[in-house]
Chain A
Amino acid sequence: MADQCPNNNLSSKPFSHFIILILVFSISLASYMFLISKLFNTSLSDLALQIKNSLYHPHINLCTVITISGIHPLKLFYGALAISVSCSIIALKAFHCLPKEQQIDSIIETVMTVCIAGLLLLSGIQQIHRYDFFKNEQNIFGGETVEERNQILFGRIYDFAQTCKKLLPGTHQGKLMTDLDLNNDPYMLLHRILSYHLYPEISLRLDNGAPNDTIVSFYKHDALMHIPENYRILVLSKDKNYILAIENRSLK
């Protein structure tokens, strides 16, 4: 097996061709950006900032982008690549770097080199925005305990779940009372979050054989009227949207 690959001997590539490619790529990209900034009626630095901030936006389980003046940033970038590739090919041809017998292969190689350079450039810009994201999340979550981080993420649902767990000894199964449509988001997700954080002290989604003696009321209109008389209320939020009740016999 070869340890060295002679076909990848960089010193055989004319350095001047490479310099031309770098220069043309940079100039065409800068010119394109300048043109776009004029079209969008903004400054070049502002456009660069918008491009940087448009990338890397984690959302649920995927990554979204933010449009720039209503245009998808990747469409702008594809335009930049197309222009850079075209200018590079024209420049290399003008400087006689694309001999006729090797022209198509050279053109393909130029296209791929420019596109890979474009990918690396976009990755670099994206990395800056990932760093911004890191700084933002670090400010929010840095130094916090897991419970505090959960509180930041889930707010009242988490507080309610923690309060229920502290007040309720042992493990129980619970019935959920709600007016929310749990078959669709966002309420389906809220239900899952509540169930996750109440478990194991209160099991809403698993029949685990624990006493089925609690009622969890979550955004139920006139909830107090629906709680049976033999249940005692342990947790009641001011707006009555979060209620925990337990059967009296379980408290004895």
Chain B
Amino acid sequence: MTSLAVNLALSILLPCLAGYGCLLLIFPKHVLPVDMKIALAYGLGLGLLAFWMLVLYICHQPFNLLILQVPFLAIAVLLSFLSLRRTPANGIPENGLIRTNTNTTGEGIWKIFHIAFVVILWLYLAQTTLYVFWLSMTIPVSSWDAVASVAFKAKIFYFEKIPPPLDLLPHKSYPLFTPFMESWVAFNLGQWDDVLIKIIFPCAFLSYLVIHYKFLSHFTNRSWGLLGSVMLLSSNLFIIHATDSYRDFFLMYYNCITIMLLLFFNKNQISAFLVLAGLFAGFATFTKLEGTAFLGIYLVLLAVILIQQNNSSGKEKLKNAAKFCIPGIGICAVFHIYKIWNHILKEGQGNIDKTGLELTWQKFGLIPQIIAKFLQDLFLSGNWNIVWILAFLSLVQFTRKRKAFEAKIIFFSLLLFFGLYIAVAVLTTNYIWIAGVQSSTTLSRLILHFFPLSVLLIILLNYPGTSRDRTKTSSLNPK
């Protein structure tokens, strides 16, 4: 039992260590606080590990603990050693560049109220986090996609001496990040365990929660960051998928963090954020097929960010774009080229083929139906609490006060995501999954991929400090 627990911990720690080492190399000293480095290290380490397993898979190499663990131990040690020799970059304060903003709590009764409010919210976060870990480590693999595809492929990678080629696998065109990660846990455990292989999900939940909180605390303050974190966890679907063997949670993870990293770059002008965002964007493409389409959205957002930067030359902007595109498109290209090489582009025929085009004029007439389906899921499902209603109401703030660029970018990205899925429903064979008879099993998961952005939008729009010019105030918040 003890050795199982140690092995389980190792399966999480090793990628974290390697990811941490990479972060020390990518980022100048003192840019990121330690807690954020650890949280990002988890995603980076898992992504690098998945990529390494892909390389082994393409080379028809067997998966075993030695070939998987040793490179990561080596990376962690080497990169940590190299980073110790680095000197801090100029202009970065020793207490860190990405810092949480504190807030004034007032005096007297306001202070007591504020402290009580904060304590209750922290208790909620703690309780929900414990619940996620408990649920994940209690219920075995049992959901549809898990037994049919995700965990089943992971089992194949664990038990087969040489991982079988793509065309023999179920859902052969689907990216392999999540099955690779579950099999990695099994290799570390030395046995297949229908419960413990899911440890990667609650850990991703915790990692995302930390980054979400740090992002909001950086752009607003601690209290609003805390409120945003509670809003995030108020979503039932977010909680359920943090405990279940589906790929959607990891796509959400890499997708939303990529956008947050792009916004960190915009604010702090440190190109290391672009490199990390590019890596995360690439990992998103290796998580689900939708991730490849998201790459287009990231490129649009990056273009908007770079174009509106007046203090960089065209050459610098091109360099920055390359820092994002090379890792992002590079990682995406590897798996897609491998699929093309092996003639595996389509999953099947008709509705089964998620990448098939279906171009008919009649389908444009279905747009109101598609939008209605989206609205029903956003406002009248048990998935999102009332977060989406709040997000829509918050949009009024755009008309009243000049809002921060970050809020505009997040709103624009939400429009792009909705537009993408509506376009996919209209132009491809996926209408049935998005707004047709099968939408009950799929649509909510698609919205999950970008749901946290709605929380970021609410906080950024409603936080009083993100207005540039406060020409109008209210009696509840006077100047």
Q: Is the CB of A108 within 8 A of B474?
A: yes
Q: B51-71 toward A: CB 8 Å interface, digit per residue (1/0)?
A: 000000000000000000000
Q: Is the CB of A74 within 8 A of B475?
A: no
Select A200's contact among B159, B223, B445, beta carbons within 8 Å: B159
Q: Does A9 contact B (CB under 8 A)?
A: yes
Q: Is the CB of A12 within 8 A of B478?
A: yes
Q: Is the CB of A8 within 8 A of B464?
A: yes
Q: Is the CB of B139 within 8 A of A11?
A: no
**Chain B residues near A130 (CB, 8 Å)?**
128, 131, 239
Q: Is the CB of B148 within 8 A of A7?
A: no
Q: Can you list 20 A-B pairs with a CB-CB distance of less than 8 A? A: A7-B465, A8-B104, A10-B104, A11-B104, A11-B107, A60-B144, A109-B474, A109-B477, A112-B462, A116-B390, A119-B231, A119-B234, A120-B234, A127-B128, A138-B138, A149-B139, A195-B147, A199-B152, A199-B159, A208-B164
Looking at the assembled complex, report how far the CB atom of B443 sits from the nearest CB atom of chain A, in whole angstroms. 9
CB-CB under 8 A for A97 and B475, given A3-B102, A10-B114, A104-B400: yes
Cα A75 to Cα B381 with chains together (Å): 10
Nearest to A185 among chain B residues (CB) is B144
Q: Does A50 contact B (CB under 8 A)?
A: no
Q: Is the CB of B244 within 8 A of A61?
A: yes
Q: Does A57 contact B (CB under 8 A)?
A: yes
Q: Is the CB of B383 within 8 A of A62?
A: yes
Nearest to B231 among chain A residues (CB) is A119
Nearest to A197 among chain B residues (CB) is B147
**Chain A residues near B124 (CB, 8 Å)?**
123-124, 127
Q: Does B361 contact A (CB under 8 A)?
A: no
Select A62's contact among B114, B193, B444, B465, beta carbons within 8 Å: B444
Query: B interface vs A, CB < 8 Å?
Result: 99, 101-110, 114, 124, 127-128, 131, 134-135, 138-145, 147-148, 151-152, 155-156, 159-160, 164, 168-170, 193-195, 220-221, 223-224, 227, 230-231, 233-234, 236-237, 239-241, 244, 246, 379-383, 385-387, 389-390, 393-394, 396-397, 400-401, 440-441, 444-445, 462-465, 467, 470, 472-478
Cα A177 to Cα B108 with chains together (Å): 75
Cα A127 to Cα B230 with chains together (Å): 11
Nearest to B138 among chain A residues (CB) is A141
Q: Does A236 contact B (CB under 8 A)?
A: no
Q: Does A58 contact B (CB under 8 A)?
A: yes
**Chain B residues near A102 (CB, 8 Å)?**
472-475, 478
**Chain B residues near A124 (CB, 8 Å)?**
124
Q: Does A175 contact B (CB under 8 A)?
A: no
**Chain A residues near B239 (CB, 8 Å)?**
130
Q: Is the CB of B396 within 8 A of A63?
A: no
Q: Is the CB of B400 within 8 A of A108?
A: yes
Q: Is the CB of A105 within 8 A of B400?
A: yes
Cα A4 to Cα B234 with chains together (Å): 28
Q: Is the CB of B227 within 8 A of A116?
A: yes
Q: A164-193 toward B: CB 8 Å interface, digit per residue (1/0)?
A: 000000000000000000000000010011
Cα A241 to Cα B101 with chains together (Å): 64
Cα A171 to Cα B467 with chains together (Å): 66
Q: Is the CB of A10 within 8 A of B382?
A: no
Cα A104 to Cα B105 with chains together (Å): 26
Q: Is the CB of A61 within 8 A of B145?
A: yes
Looking at the assembled complex, report how far the CB atom of B449 sits from the nearest CB atom of chain A, in whole angstroms. 13
Nearest to A192 among chain B residues (CB) is B148
CB-CB under 8 A for A65 and B106, given A109-B476, A150-B194, A196-B152: no
Cα A166 to Cα B440 with chains together (Å): 38
Interface-centre pick from B114, B128, B478 (highest chain A CB count, 10 A): B478
**Chain B residues near A6 (CB, 8 Å)?**
104
User: What are the 5 closest A-B residue pairs judged by CB atoms, nearest first?
Assistant: A11-B106, A106-B474, A63-B236, A10-B106, A65-B382
Interface-centre pick from B140, B390, B397 (highest chain A CB count, 10 A): B140
**Chain A residues near B151 (CB, 8 Å)?**
196
**Chain B residues near A138 (CB, 8 Å)?**
138
Q: Is the CB of A58 within 8 A of B240?
A: yes
Q: Is the CB of A63 within 8 A of B240?
A: yes
Q: A106-146 toward B: CB 8 Å interface, digit per residue (1/0)?
A: 10111111011011101110110010001001100110001
Nearest to A113 among chain B residues (CB) is B476
CB-CB under 8 A for A7 and B477, given A1-B99, A192-B148, A206-B169: yes
Give the contacts of A1-36 with B (CB-CB under 8 A): 1-15, 17-18
Cα A138 to Cα B400 with chains together (Å): 49
Cα A172 to Cα B216 with chains together (Å): 54
Cα A246 to Cα B386 with chains together (Å): 56
CB-CB under 8 A for A63 and B381, given A7-B464, A137-B135: yes
Q: Is the CB of B221 within 8 A of A112?
A: no
**Chain A residues near B195 (CB, 8 Å)?**
146, 149
Cα A6 to Cα B465 with chains together (Å): 8
Looking at the assembled complex, report how far the CB atom of B52 sits from the nearest CB atom of chain A, in whole angstroms. 24
Cα A1 to Cα B93 with chains together (Å): 11
Cα A10 to Cα B139 with chains together (Å): 44
Cα A40 to Cα B151 with chains together (Å): 46
Cα A23 to Cα B241 with chains together (Å): 37
**Chain B residues near A63 (CB, 8 Å)?**
236-237, 240, 381-383
Q: Is the CB of B445 within 8 A of A106?
A: no
Q: Does A45 contact B (CB under 8 A)?
A: no
Q: Does A234 contact B (CB under 8 A)?
A: no
**Chain A residues near B128 (CB, 8 Å)?**
127, 130
Cα A56 to Cα B396 with chains together (Å): 30
Q: Is the CB of A77 within 8 A of B386?
A: yes
CB-CB under 8 A for A98 and B475, given A15-B109, A120-B230: yes
**Chain B residues near A192 (CB, 8 Å)?**
144, 147-148, 152
Q: Is the CB of A206 within 8 A of B156?
A: yes
Cα A146 to Cα B381 with chains together (Å): 32
CB-CB under 8 A for A74 and B101, given A102-B473, A137-B135, A207-B168: no
Cα A10 to Cα B397 with chains together (Å): 20
**Chain B residues near A127 (CB, 8 Å)?**
124, 127-128
Select A5's contact among B221, B390, B397, beta carbons within 8 Å: B221
